């Protein structure tokens, strides 16, 4: 699905400028620049070790950059951890999910709310969860009462996406999301991503599968040696 051309490009959602990151003596990022617009799926390409995942983890708060700046929704931000990123509306969906296997689907979607004081209104959470899944065209895909350990890889990924939307994330990074999916599951994921794009979300698609990148992305950035 391609957008019709318009006179004005969508607003810039995030700009990362001159990002550097070193692990011991290995320089993973050497002045990396990246820009993402609202309502865009932006492909991040590069060979293994090029810095794709490191840049993604800096943007999502998993790593702190050694230097450089990140501007998000019109203001400079400093992310100390993933909580900071989620608080401003940045989430990442990785191959290894951050879900709690012994908790239910519903509890995982709204995991950030479980630690808050007071009683949880499970009926209200179910309504919110259903609305999120309906917005993704996946209304009947997840049984809310199942423990996450019973889910397939594709279903766990969907829980991660719903969890991101549960905290109103505007920017979602997909780090090699198709690695463990069947062709049919990839098609469903791309449909979900297209729906997110249509609602103004900015998506980063990290992959090395060129045919997938060219089928779903609007723009591509290629990384080499950080």
CA distance 9 to 149: 42
**pTM over the 0.85 mark:** yes
User: How is 72-126 classified by DSSP, letter by letter?
Assistant: ETTEEE--SSHHHHHHHTEEEE-SS----TTSBHHHHHTHHHHTSSS---HHHHH
Distances (CA, A) of 53 to 46, 133, 162: 10, 27, 22
In which residue are the tokens 């609202």 written?
Answer: 38
Averaged pLDDT, 68-87: 92
Provide the greatest CA pair distance for the chain. 52
Cβ-based neighbours of 4, under 8 Å, separated by 6 or more: none
* Token pair belonging to 117: 């004081």
In which residue are the tokens 């820009």 written?
Answer: 35
pLDDT of residue 2: 53
Report the Cα–Cα distance between both ends of the chain, in Å, rounded: 31
For residue 25, is pLDDT > 90? no
pLDDT of residue 3: 54
| Contact between residue 189 and residue 157 where contact means Cβ atoms under 8 Å apart | yes
> Which tens digit of pLDDT belongs to each residue from 178-197?
888 899 999 999 999 999 99
Banded pLDDT at 67 (limits 50, 70, 90): very high
Q: Is 89 left (phi over 0), alpha (psi -120 to 50) or beta?
A: left
Provide the 10 A C-beta neighbour count for residue 203.
24
Of 29, 46, 60, nearest to 208 by C-alpha is 46
pLDDT of residue 21: 94
Provide the 10 A C-beta neighbour count for residue 50.
20
> Which tens digit of pLDDT belongs to each residue from 96-136?
678 999 999 999 999 877 766 667 788 889 999 999 999 99
């Amino acid at each position: 699905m391609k957008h019709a051309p318009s006179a004005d490009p969508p607003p810039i959602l995030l700009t990362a400028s001159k990002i550097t990151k070193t692990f011991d003596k290995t320089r993973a990022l050497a002045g990396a620049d990246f820009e993402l617009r609202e309502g865009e799926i932006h492909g991040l390409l590069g060979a293994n070790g090029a810095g794709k995942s490191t840049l993604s983890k800096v943007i999502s708060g998993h790593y702190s950059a050694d230097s450089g700046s990140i501007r998000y929704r019109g203001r400079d931000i400093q992310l100390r951890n993933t909580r900071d990123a989620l608080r401003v509306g940045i989430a990442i969906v990785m191959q290894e999910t951050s879900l709690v296997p012994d908790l239910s689907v519903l509890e995982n979607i709204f995991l950030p709310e479980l630690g808050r004081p007071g009683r949880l209104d499970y009926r209200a959470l179910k309504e919110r969860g259903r609305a999120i899944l309906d917005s993704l065209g996946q209304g009947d895909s997840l049984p809310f009462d199942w423990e996450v350990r019973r889910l397939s890889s594709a279903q766990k990924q969907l829980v991660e996406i719903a969890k991101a939307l549960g905290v109103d994330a505007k920017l979602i990074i997909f780090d090699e999301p198709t690695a463990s999916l069947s062709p049919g599951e990839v098609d469903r994921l791309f449909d979900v991503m297209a729906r997110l794009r249509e609602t103004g979300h900015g998506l980063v698609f990290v992959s090395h599968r060129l045919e997938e990148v060219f089928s779903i992305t609007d723009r591509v950035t290629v990384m080499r040696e950080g």
